[in-house]
């Protein structure tokens, strides 16, 4: 039996959080390769620390008609052109600090050719379809508690930091710096958001601002993005609870690619298979199948077939078709879960990595924009980004019901 009243919390981190800086750089690499070769293979990990940026991983790019040696040279040419793109990404985030500066940070790149053993298992050949880039389980989730069909605690946490970043960029005189975290606790009644009981915001700031100064900047911004009916005099606020947050970003804490997977997905409101997204090309089902699962779950909820929907997909490395498809409507469904398990893969052409990439148009340089404020709950853009947030299956699902 589900509980009628409970508290739930989710957190988010800003584009300037060290781990998000690493994610941004890794997906900048993915975009660079896909812009040159839509079928490129990329697995890029980034480490950032005090005035250091270090890249490592496996990559491959090819051109039709090239010999192996020519493709190796082509791949190396892309690698050689990465440094200005990486520095531009860090500059865009806003890092011009003594401890981490887009122009002055030491840059080291250790990307190398993809394993031939992996390539043989994944690449299409003869009658063999392209296989999954790794084994694993992926989850997608949607809930009708927000217009974005996302968990409210996470969506509000994202919205706070997105608004803070907009304020920082619009008015540098505020004294806000790029590194920030937020956390929202909601009381749910009968499964619906009823009140915000606590808000936590920690934001890096320039020397000289007091904790009270930061609170005076932050609170009005938060009030703009949290529905007024959810806030009250009983809401507990924690603004920069440590008191001072001047040293931040990669100078204050080392950042690594893929360490914010719950922030990237559903804020703990749904299961997670454990695989990160950033730094991976879309043959990696950690990324593409998770996008597909969200796409399908969102369409189920948008069609009114359930209030909540969780979808699990599983894969084996080198095998094209998923090993399993599992749908859970959490007791809110208006259609049989077994019907959706059978029909949803058909709607996207079979749920193989190739079918997913083609249906959602994933072989494009659209990934750097995903690395802050969540991969889900966003609006599809004209360049093909966030295509997994479309709700173009709704009419077919309504007809199916």
| DSSP secondary structure of 91-157 | HHHT-B-SSSBTTTSEEEEEEEEPPHHHHHHHS-BTTBPPPBSS-EEEEEEEETTSTTSS-HHHHHH
Does 96 lie in the same domain as 158?
Answer: no
Query: Same domain, yes or no, for 304 and 213?
Result: no
Please check whether residues 379 and 232 belong to one and the same domain.
no
Neighbours of 214 (CB within 10 A): 23
Q: Domain total for the chain?
A: 3
Give pLDDT tens digits for 365-383: 999 999 999 999 999 999 9
CATH code of the domain in which 110 resides: 3.30.300.10
- Is residue 262 situated within a structural domain? no
Q: Does the pLDDT of residue 125 top 90, yes or no?
A: no
Q: Is 394 inside a domain boundary?
A: yes
The answer to whether residues 22 and 118 belong to one domain is yes
Residue 94 lies in a domain: yes
Mean pLDDT of the region 210-238: 97
Neighbours of 37 (CB within 10 A): 20
Q: Are residues 108 and 141 in the same domain?
A: no
Q: Which domain holds residue 78?
A: 18-122
Which of 228, 247, 266 is the C-terminal boundary of a domain? 247
Residues 290 and 191 in one domain: no
Measure CA 368 to chain center: 10
CA gap 221, 259 in Å, rounded: 27
Asked if residues 134 and 280 have their Cβ atoms less than 8 Å apart, the reply is: no
pLDDT tens-digit profile of 321-359?
A: 999 999 999 999 999 999 999 999 999 998 999 999 999
Q: How confident is the model at residue 120 (pLDDT cuts 50, 70, 90)?
A: low
H-only helix segments in 8-111? 18-36, 68-80, 82-93
Q: Are residues 392 and 345 in the same domain?
A: yes
> Does 231 fall in a domain?
yes
93 is a domain residue: yes
Of the candidates 247, 273, 290, which is a domain's last residue?
Answer: 247
117 and 140 inside one domain: no
pLDDT digits (tens, 9 = 90+) for 70-95: 999 999 999 999 999 999 999 999 99
Are residues 157 and 140 part of one domain?
no
Are 296 and 395 part of one and the same domain? yes
Residues 10, 55: one domain? Answer: no
- pTM: predicted TM-score of the whole model, two decimal places: 0.95
Query: Is 268 among the domain residues?
Result: no
Could you tell me if 32 and 112 lie in one domain?
A: yes
Other C-beta atoms lying within 10 Å of the C-beta of residue 67? 8
Strands (E), 158-289: 176-189, 192-205, 236-239, 255-256
Could you tell me if 331 and 324 are in contact, meaning their C-beta atoms sit under 8 angstroms apart? no
pLDDT digits (tens, 9 = 90+) for 280-321: 999 999 999 999 999 999 999 999 999 999 999 999 998 889
Rounded-to-integer distance, Cα 165 and Cα 180, Å: 9
Contact criterion met (CB below 8 Å) for 177 and 94: yes
CB half-sphere exposure, 190, CA atoms < 13 A: 0
pLDDT (mean) for 18-28:
98
Q: What is the per-residue pLDDT across 31-62, written as a single tens digit (0 to 9) for each? A: 999 999 999 999 999 999 999 999 999 999 99
Q: pLDDT band at 127, cuts 50/70/90? A: very low
* Calpha distance 348→132 (Å, rounded): 16
Q: In a 3-state reduction of DSSP, which class is residue 40?
A: coil
Decide if 275 is inside a domain: no
CA gap 183, 201 in Å, rounded: 7
- Mean pLDDT for the chain? 94
75-79, 139-143, 210-214, 318-322: the lowest-pLDDT one: 318-322
Q: How confident is the model at residue 128 (pLDDT cuts 50, 70, 90)?
A: very low
Query: Contact at 8 Å (CB) between 143 and 151?
Result: yes
Mention every residue, 6+ apart, whose C-beta is less than 8 A from residue 10: 151, 153, 154, 157, 183, 184, 262, 267, 268, 269
**254 in a structural domain:** no
């Amino acid at each position: 039996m589900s509980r009628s009243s409970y508290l739930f919390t989710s957190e988010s981190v800003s584009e300037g959080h060290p781990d998000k800086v690493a994610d941004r750089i890794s997906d900048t690499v993915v975009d660079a390769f896909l812009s040159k070769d839509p079928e490129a293979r990329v697995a890029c990990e980034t480490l950032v620390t005090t005035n250091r940026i270090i890249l490592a991983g496996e990559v491959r790019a090819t051109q039709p008609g090239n010999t192996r040696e020519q493709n190796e040279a082509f791949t190396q040419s892309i690698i050689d052109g990465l440094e200005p793109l990486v520095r531009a990404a860090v500059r865009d985030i806003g890092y011009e600090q003594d401890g981490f500066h887009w122009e002055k940070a030491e840059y080291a790149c250790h990307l190398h050719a993809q394993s031939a053993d992996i390539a043989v298992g994944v690449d299409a050949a003869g009658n063999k379809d392209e296989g999954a880039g790794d084994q694993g389980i992926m989850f997608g989730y949607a809930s009708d508690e927000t217009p974005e069909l996302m968990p409210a605690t996470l969506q509000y946490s994202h919205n706070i930091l997105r608004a803070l970043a907009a304020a920082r960029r619009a008015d540098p005189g505020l004294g806000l710096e790029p590194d920030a975290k937020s956390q929202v606790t909601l009381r749910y009644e009968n499964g619906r958001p009823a009140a915000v009981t606590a808000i936590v915001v920690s934001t890096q700031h320039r020397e000289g601002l007091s904790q009270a100064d930061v609170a005076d900047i932050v609170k009005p911004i938060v009030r703009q993005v949290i529905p007024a009916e959810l806030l009250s005099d009983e809401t507990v606020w924690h603004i920069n609870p440590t008191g001072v947050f001047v040293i931040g970003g990669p100078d204050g804490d080392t950042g690594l690619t893929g360490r914010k997977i719950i922030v990237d997905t559903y804020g703990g409101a749904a299961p997670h298979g454990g695989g990160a997204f950033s730094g991976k090309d879309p043959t990696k089902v950690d990324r593409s199948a998770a996008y597909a699962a969200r796409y399908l779950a969102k369409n189920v909820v948008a069609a009114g077939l359930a209030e909540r929907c969780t979808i699990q997909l599983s894969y084996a490395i080198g095998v094209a078709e998923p090993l399993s498809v599992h749908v859970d409507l959490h007791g809110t469904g208006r259609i049989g879960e077994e019907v959706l398990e059978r029909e949803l893969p058909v709607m996207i052409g079979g749920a193989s990595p190739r079918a997913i990439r083609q249906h959602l148009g994933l072989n494009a340089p659209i990934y750097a924009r995903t690395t802050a404020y969540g991969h889900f709950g966003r609006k599809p853009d004209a360049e093909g980004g966030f295509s997994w947030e479309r709700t173009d299956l709704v009419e077919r699902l309504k007809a199916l019901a």
